[in-house]
Structure 1
Amino acid sequence: MSTAAATVLAYLPSPDRGVWYLGPVPIRAYALCIIAGIIVAVVWGERRIVARGGPAGAVTDIAVWAVPFGLVGGRLYHVITDWQTYFGPGGNPISALYIWQGGLGIWGAVALGAVGAWIGCRRRNIPLPFFADAVAPGIVVAQAIGRLGNWFNQELYGAPTTVPWGLEIYRRVDPSTGIADPLGGVAIDHTAIEIVHPTFLYELLWNLLVAAVVVFADRRFRLGHGRAFALYVAGYTLGRFWIEQMRTDFATRVFGDLRVNVVVSAVVFVGAVLYMVIVRKPREELAPPPEADDSADADADPSSVDLSKGEPEPSLAGKSAEPEPDAERSP
């Protein structure tokens, strides 16, 4: 087999479509990837927050607020930074609402998602930095899973290339009309019209590496007060800075010819690093409420506990609380 043939066989294929139909209902791969990422982030965050003394179910409760806020924020950031696509000459303003066609800006999702998380944390009496540290690695893994949606949509790729892992791009059409439809169409002919850098794959792999680094550093250095989250932000922006410059899709340009997300990544990276350098507090833990014991805390003020509301919420402590001897006995 010739070297040229071996190289061609090594190219990565694209899916022939990104949408399937269950009767009249469209099943979109992009949406499924986003949902799968959210589930992974919630499940993993739940395990991490419980391991730190947090109450079971807290991440799910907070996610009810954070996820919708994050989706809206992500879409707003995308529309604002690529406003010409929707509001410029030939644009369709209504398509700004078509979130299923792709387009979620991570910094809008993080910013507005943090507002939703803050609301949820206040309702559960959990400090926001504590929550952010617990969910940090799950968020970046969710981003990695979400990048698979770009693969199905055949979007956000790089320049033409001859590297063996180049991505094949197919011409997709509406099967009923034959009209080109890159997002909702089907690739009838699997002959590649272009071989490009799979920047979605580069970012996916980078995100998984960042998740591993966050988990390792969090265990090794017991990061707290938002530093694990800041490490995730710094790691992600470091990779996004160079991957963004490889992409060839349309993007708003600032400061001459810089893509806006390159500038944002640089600014956010500096902010995240400064936060990690300045904040030096030890990791906080949530101490679970003590079990009821008639012989313990004889001098405690009984009015401080409202029995009608069940057990009090966990309290914040500077380190893991050692259990009292009476708390280890069964009541």
Structure 2
Amino acid sequence: MISSLLLAFDPIAFELGPMQIRWYALIIVLGIILGEWVFRREAIAKGIDPDRVFDLFFYAVIFGFIGARLYYVIFKLDYYLANPDQIIQIWHGGIAIYGGVLGAVVTLYYLCRRYGINFITVLDTAAPGLILAQAIGRWGNFMNQEAHGGPVSLEFLQKLHLPQFIIDQMLINGTYYHPTFLYESLWNLFGLLIILVIRHRPRFLLEGEVLAFYLLWYGAGRFTIEGMRTDSLYLGSLRVSQWLSLVLVIVSLIFILYRRRSHQINYYQTQL
């Protein structure tokens, strides 16, 4: 047990003078870079002006981060009112993906109206890069030893055939925990693979259904995985994120059924 404790990763990657650069931040940045690469390739292939692509992505990331942090702060308002200096210290963790998605979507809606770009097309285009960024970003939680599930035995983790470094990192204060970060990361990667496959099938997806599939897939996975976590906020009998996930699943299904029954003929197309 002592050797495993010593093998846990240091959340600080390196220091620049008085500034500590955390793995959490570096991994989030990596996710953003790769997500932008996917988004840019898809957007340009769909004929969106490259300059507009940069604007869309840049402002979506900025206001997405603001939304992600505000969401987290609002649900822990008592703590942050007592410690207001902690509000901007996101390098310790404390951002919520649902708040980030909401902030980004509102920003994209405004910019699409301003630039005369089809909003649904942009959201379809953004979905693959977003789910990839989420899959990568969960490893930031791994480095911080946060967003994990409940206690489990060492034998349970070994039966999952996990790499030893993951098992070591899931030993926190002498107790092993569910690596829920890994469950969600793998779930998102699998969802990305499905998107990459089905979007190439001719006349299979309608416009908006890449986005709908992302919301449906992520919502279903998050609902299940969130039930294993120990750090979630409750609203009634379910966690807040579970309620939001349930809403995403229902809205996505309604959207898909409505589009299909309305005989929508605008099929999703990609040149990638």
Q: Among 83, 95, 98, which residue is 1:92 paired with?
A: 83
Partner of 2:75: 81
Provide the secondary structure at the position in 2 that maps to 1:279: helix
- Structure having the higher helix fraction is 2
Partner of 1:160: 151
Q: Output aligned runs, 1:1-331, within 5 Å.
A: 14-87=8-81, 91-162=82-153, 163=156, 164=158, 165=162, 166=167, 168-169=169-170, 193-220=174-201, 221-249=203-231, 251-255=232-236, 257-280=237-260, 281-283=264-266
Give the CA deviation at 1:45: 1.0
Contact 2:234-2:240 within 8 A present in 1 as well: yes
Give the CA deviation at 1:130: 0.4
Larger Rg: 1
Contact 2:184-2:225 within 8 A present in 1 as well: yes
User: d(CA) in 1 for partners of 2:30 and 2:169?
Assistant: 25
Q: Which amino acid aligns with 2:91?
A: W
Q: Which amino acid aligns with 1:76?
A: L
Residue deviations 1:281-322 (CA, integer Å, cap 9, x gap) = 33468xxxxxxxxxxxxxxxxxxxxxxxxxxxxxxxxx89xx
Give the CA deviation at 1:212: 1.2
- TM-score when normalising by structure 2: 0.84
Residue deviations 1:201-220 (CA, integer Å, cap 9, x gap) = 11110110111122222222
Q: Which amino acid aligns with 1:237?
A: G
User: d(CA) in 1 for partners of 2:196 and 2:83?
Assistant: 43
Q: Please, which runs of 5 or more residues in structure 1 have no aligned partner?
A: 172-191, 286-318, 321-331
Give the CA deviation at 1:25: 2.2
Q: Which amino acid aligns with 2:147?
A: L
Contact 2:145-2:169 within 8 A present in 1 as well: no
Give the CA deviation at 1:96: 2.5
Q: Which amino acid aligns with 1:114?
A: V
Contact 1:199-1:247 within 8 A present in 2 as well: yes
Q: Which amino acid aligns with 2:151?
A: P
Q: Which amino acid aligns with 2:228?
A: M
Percent identity over paired residues: 36
User: Are the structure 2 counterparts of residues 140 and 104 from structure 1 closer, same or farther at C-alpha, using a change threshold of 3 Å?
Assistant: same
Q: Which segment drifts farther, 161-170 or 235-244? A: 161-170
Contact 2:120-2:208 within 8 A present in 1 as well: yes
Give the CA deviation at 1:52: 2.5
Q: Please, which runs of 5 or more residues in structure 2 have no aligned partner?
A: none
Give the CA deviation at 1:84: 4.3
Provide the secondary structure at the position in 2 that maps to 1:195: strand
Contact 1:233-1:269 within 8 A present in 2 as well: yes
Contact 2:170-2:178 within 8 A present in 1 as well: no
Contact 1:133-1:224 within 8 A present in 2 as well: no
User: d(CA) in 2 for partners of 1:167 and 1:75?
Assistant: 29
- TM-score when normalising by structure 1: 0.70
Contact 2:27-2:136 within 8 A present in 1 as well: yes
